[in-house]
A and B are shown apart, each in its own frame.
Chain A
């Protein structure tokens, strides 16, 4: 996997920083026995690839054996898969079931997935980094293939027949010549069989997939369209209380004085003050709100940098602590000075990126229930095991006393890695002696979660008259290092990431810094091509050997009609492309600018992520990336001043709506000869530079800051 080899150049991916400390205990015999036995396959990952690939955990001791997933086939032919991955709307519950169905040659309807339950599923580092499809899906295929082969072994024994005379289809082992078939369940009977398998199991190549590779409707889709699905925020336990937390007036504020007497005297209200944490639990949401309003607290505020000075601040304030981060060594190739000296034209430009919020439609939520010293928390997090550790640390109890369960969640986009809501709910529940549910408001979500990092990217480049890039110097301050290196063939390069001291809490976001790095790089490439009077696509081809990127650029240009475009004042076209997490994307955009108002009219995306697993699911991810990407490209920005978020609501923080959506065409480049890579993130990276280049094409104005038109208009900047 390319991005893993490149990880050394990507010291700062803004994924989680803490190392998982827990090694899962092997013996699950008792548990599966209690379910009635069956065939249980445990997949051992000796190379530990799933654990290491999230980034940033160098030096973690290798576990002797780690289990990636279990697969259980029961007497009634049902197949249950246990995986620590979680469903956030990426539809992996569906795509993983497709993989199992394919290998086990058994219908989708026989398969169910138990996901993200720390008591029932093996350890998993988290659902992020577009790793479910390339890693977990492949591992489930291996477990399924091993199960299938073992079932054939059982059939060989039962029928005393030659192994080659058996085929597997529709959940049965079939002996064609004898016109006889045995169901999986029949072969297993009342036995309890456990098998641990290693990763060297042959799986079905993509060109022979029969279930994967085709669109499948969302598993459990009926529950979602009927309102029956229970998100964390919908759960209710007997005797449950509703929690609220008193938030400081600004980030970084500390509690000076606090009077909770009046709130405490309200009936049915539990008040907790523990350090700077103040919260209440009450029998109804509005009772909790009223009790919270009765608390008199004074906070000590500290002066903090504001948005107006943020870019200057990030450049001048290197990160104080590199804890959990790899040291950032600059990448160097060739000789930059020579490259610049050889250039016929030189260009220096600075690009800036504002903080933005994830805005998952379901705000953070948790339901905590203590039974003695054992805590169960239902919560929406992309890292159930990481959050379990966070909770255990907060309460100074062993991980084994905490169970985290993640119901299928109302989206996250990288914004739900952390467990603060779970810890708050658990703290309140501990004091109240009853289960407590805590659901954050939209304003809390906008203020107390974390943001995609702001950043500054400075590029200095040189190019020869015949259109070859001779020098490329790229400095990224704080935005992050994902996809920081170009795929262009540039002889002389210097690329450096500089971690900064961020005034706002920052973390993962769909595609991480790949969006910022592609924005700066591809906008700069567009600038260079125009400085030379070359077609932006032709200029890219001259500097690009990478066949996969060239292929998506060509596919996007062809479908879009790039060669036939007719730019005019107020009508412009742009193209951009790139690679992240092993997937390749190119986009063409058409914009209309009228009286300064920018409207993205049309976007064509070509995408290649190896063998396609679920075409409709993939298209949805690409279309979703385009629309989500429009927000960060055009108008989303967190505004903040001295520790206060100034636009913590949807009326003041605009996210894309139907009316913003362009006509979208997607081209899937299906490479059945290549392993599938993840696709939930990468499509977003090409949108901003394609649109930005189109705006320039239409207006002659180069917008180098994301978002590009915060007020909707080029001239109003």
Chain B
């Protein structure tokens, strides 16, 4: 099968790669780039564990082919921390006990990153709506909302 060349910026680093047309973006990130923080939970775009941010928008990376991200900019959970400093969302999940097994957490973080970029003063309803495409089986969601609120407050203060 003919491979396709892509140039993509992931977490600030340029990557040039030859990919098979059918290679899913999530597999490209996990297997080719070894960025395994992006998880696979369902294969059918229902759980959100594979969510990454592409050009500022949250996207489930199991719904895209690697070939479709040519020329685009991707942020994964590994790119949230800057110079050893956690992003307010990461801090929020840690401080507010927003995770138990942690498997859904990267997807929750990336969904939250794109969401809070456009709205640093969300209502609880807006938060619930924003995260309704991401499944968590452990926490009961309550502390995930708190983690978002923690991050929103920090971002409003100009934490990052």
Residues of A within 8 A of B (CB): 88-91, 215, 217-218, 221-222, 224-231, 233-234, 236, 284-286, 359-363, 408-411, 413, 439, 441-443, 616-617, 619-620, 622-628, 649-651, 655, 657-659, 661, 664
Query: What are 30 A-B interface contacts by the 8 Å CB criterion?
Result: A89-B102, A89-B138, A222-B86, A226-B78, A226-B80, A226-B90, A227-B35, A228-B37, A228-B78, A229-B102, A231-B103, A236-B34, A361-B49, A363-B41, A410-B103, A411-B103, A439-B40, A442-B41, A619-B97, A620-B139, A623-B140, A623-B142, A623-B143, A625-B140, A650-B47, A650-B135, A655-B137, A658-B132, A658-B141, A661-B140
Q: How far is the CA of A651 from the CA of B43 in the complex (A)?
A: 11
- The verdict on A624 contacting B100 (CB below 8 Å), with A225-B86, A658-B128 known, is yes
Q: B23 in the interface, Cβ–Cβ < 8 Å?
A: yes
**B contact residues around A413 at 8 Å (CB):** 137
Choose one: A234, A236, A411, A622; the contact of B100 (CB below 8 Å).
A411
8 cross-chain pairs, A with B, having the tightest CB-CB distances, nearest first: A227-B37, A89-B101, A623-B140, A410-B103, A224-B102, A234-B36, A227-B77, A650-B46
Task: Give A679 Cβ to nearest chain B Cβ, in Å.
Answer: 13
Q: Which residues of B contact A619 (CB under 8 A)?
A: 97
Contact A286 B141, CB 8 Å, known A218-B99, A226-B78, A649-B42: no
What 1/0 flags go to B19-41 for Cβ under 8 Å of A? 01011000100110011111111
Residues of B within 8 A of A360 (CB): 101, 103, 137
Q: CA A619 – CA B141 in complex, angstroms? A: 12
A284 touches B44 (CB 8 A): no
Instruction: Assess whether A659 is in contact with B128, with CB atoms less than 8 Å apart.
Output: yes
- Is A661 touching B128 in the complex (CB atoms < 8 A)? yes
Nearest chain B CB to A181 CB, angstrom units? 32
User: Is B104 an interface residue, CB under 8 A from the partner?
Assistant: yes
A360 to B100, CA, bound (A): 12
Provide the residues of chain A in CB contact with B40, threshold 8 Å: 233, 439
**Dominant SS among interface residues on chain B:** loop
Q: Which positions 142-156 of chain B face chain A at CB distance < 8 Å?
A: 142-144
Q: Give the residues from 93 to 113 in chain B that come closer than 8 angstroms, CB to CB, to chain A.
A: 93-95, 97, 99-106, 109
Q: Residues of A contacting B97 with CB < 8 Å?
A: 215, 217-218, 616-617, 619-620
The answer, yes or no, to whether B131 is at the interface (CB within 8 Å) is yes
Q: How far is the CB of B144 from chain A (nearest CB, A)?
A: 8
B81: Cβ under 8 A from any A Cβ: yes
Find out whether the CB atom of A623 lies under 8 angstroms from the CB atom of B101. Answer: no
Of the four ranges (under 10, 10 to 19, 20 to 34, 35 or more), the interface on chain B belongs to 35 or more
Closest to A229 in B: B102
Measured CA separation A287–B80 after assembly (Å):
32
Measured CA separation A284–B32 after assembly (Å): 10
- Chain B: CB-nearest residue to A284: B31
Residue in B22, B35, B37, B97 whose Cβ sees the most chain A Cβ within 10 Å: B97
Q: Which of B46, B105, B138, B141 contacts A225 (CB 8 A)?
A: B105
Shortest Cβ gap from B9 to chain A (Å): 18
Decide if B39 touches A362 in the complex (CB within 8 Å): yes
Task: Indicate with 1 or 0, residue by residue over B59-90, a CB within 8 angstroms of chain A CB atoms.
Answer: 00000000000000000111011000010001
Q: Which residues of B contact A650 (CB under 8 A)?
A: 42, 44, 46-47, 135
Q: Known interface pairs A236-B34, A651-B44. Does A89 touch B100 (Cβ–Cβ under 8 Å)?
A: yes
B136 sits at the interface (CB 8 A):
yes
Smallest CB separation, A415 vs chain B (Å) = 10
Q: Which residue of B has the minimal Cβ distance to A654?
A: B46
- Distance, CA A286 to CA B40, complexed state (A): 15
A222 to B142, CA, bound (A): 20
Distance between Cα atoms of A518 and B119 in the complex (Å): 44
Q: Closest residue to A661 on the B side, CB-wise?
A: B141
User: Does A217 contact B94, Cβ atoms closer than 8 Å?
Assistant: yes
Give the chain B neighbours of A624 by CB distance below 8 A: 100, 137-140
Query: Separation in Å of the A358 CB from the closest CB of chain B?
Result: 8
**Residues in B neighbouring A284, C-beta threshold 8 A:** 31
Closest residue of A by beta carbon distance from B107: A361
B137 CB to nearest chain A CB (Å): 5
Q: Closest Cβ of chain A: how far from B134's Cβ, in Å?
A: 8
Cβ–Cβ contact B135 & A655, under 8 A: yes
Q: How far is the CB of B24 from chain A (nearest CB, A)?
A: 9
Residues of chain A within 8 A of B46, CB atoms compared: 649-651
